[in-house]
Amino acid sequence: MDNTPAWESVDPLGEALHFLRMSGVLYCHTDCSAPWGVELPQMPGCLMLHVVTSGHCWLEAAGTQARRLQPGDLALVPHGHGHRLVHEPGAPVVKLFDAPIERINDRYETLQIGGGGAAASAVCGVVRFDHLTAHHLISVLPRVMVVEASGSTPSEWMHSTLRLLAFEARQMRPGGQAVVSRLADILVIQAIRAWIEQEPAAQGSWLGALKDRQIGRALALVHRDPAHGWALGSLAAAVGLSRSAFAARFTQLVGLPPMQYLGRWRMHVALARLQEHDDGLADLAGRVGYQSEAAFSRAFKRHMGVAPGAIQKNVMS
């Protein structure tokens, strides 16, 4: 029998990546020939990704140095900032919504643009994150991230994934949209993992809290079981710290006191349930640790600014 305490076996960072729960908003296969340039608008709350499948292009974004992207390179714009993809730095651009786009379905498009010169192609995507953990994680990422195919970070399986994504985008076989979406999601998570492992900036952020031995485990316990009657003392005891030491360390690393974080987490779990399921409010209250529907509704409105019943009505309408 395994007597290892539950908190000894958790993987807080892995669970945080699981909670990304990306939902594909739009994917586009792009074929370009020089001279060409496309300006992508700001898309708040979304992450934009670009995988170069042939030729090369430049990514230009305010506040960052222009980056040359080669075949197999993966670029992420995590915060949805507007940016430009061009055949050479400073090239004229057409706004994305003015470009000759052919819509294949609600989530997949193709774009052909340019003057007939040197060719390049890419698969571009926009994904959205709905979970509180995802918002925490994305908030600490830089404005632009690039995983280079020629670098040491990508493994052979990542190169194979890129090749498969490019193939599926070109062929548009039955089910191709679903395959492209899943592969793009995997690549986003892989890029974030690589950044976490390599960048010093990841150590001093909320991610640092996840990697901390005791605070990371406390976060994982809350994430796994928000309905449990957690109190400052019980969380501190579960990870082997005194109440005062736990509260100070948690607040320093996470940026919120433990009980305030627990309250926010419960409300975001409730919001996700309201958007995805048709639970009754009394049942939902119990799922997130409240003894009564009234207490839950008051807490939800205080945190979210709207009553939970209003969310239900919007989802059902």
pLDDT digits over 107-152, tens only?
778 899 999 999 999 988 888 876 667 777 788 889 999 888 766 5
pLDDT tens column, 61-84: 999 999 999 988 889 999 999 999
Give me the amino acid identity at 261.
Y
Domain ranges of the chain: 12-202, 212-316
The sign of the torsion formed by the CA atoms of 84, 86, 92, 96 equals negative
Contact 311, 271 (CB under 8 A): yes
Strands 37-40 and 94-95: parallel
CATH number of 212-316: 1.10.10.60
Q: Residue 254: which of 223, 212, 290 has the closest Cα? A: 212
The percent helix, strand, coil of the chain (3-state, each to 5) is 45, 20, 35
Reported as half-sphere exposure (CB side, CA atoms, 13 A), residue 187 has a value of: 38
Contacts of 215 (CB under 8 A, 6+ apart): 209, 239, 249, 250, 253, 254
Most confident of 168-172, 184-188, 228-232: 228-232
Inform me whether the pLDDT recorded for 17 exceeds 60: yes
> What pLDDT score does 25 carry?
64
Percentage of residues in the chain having pLDDT higher than 70? 84
Q: Residue 32: which of 105, 80, 94 has the closest Cα? A: 94
Model confidence band, residue 106 (pLDDT cutoffs 50, 70, 90) = confident
212-316 shares the fold of 12-202: no
Strand partners of residue 61: none
Model confidence band, residue 3 (pLDDT cutoffs 50, 70, 90) = very low
What pTM did the predictor assign? Answer: 0.71
Fold (CATH) for 12-202: Jelly Rolls (2.60.120)
DSSP state at residue 254: H
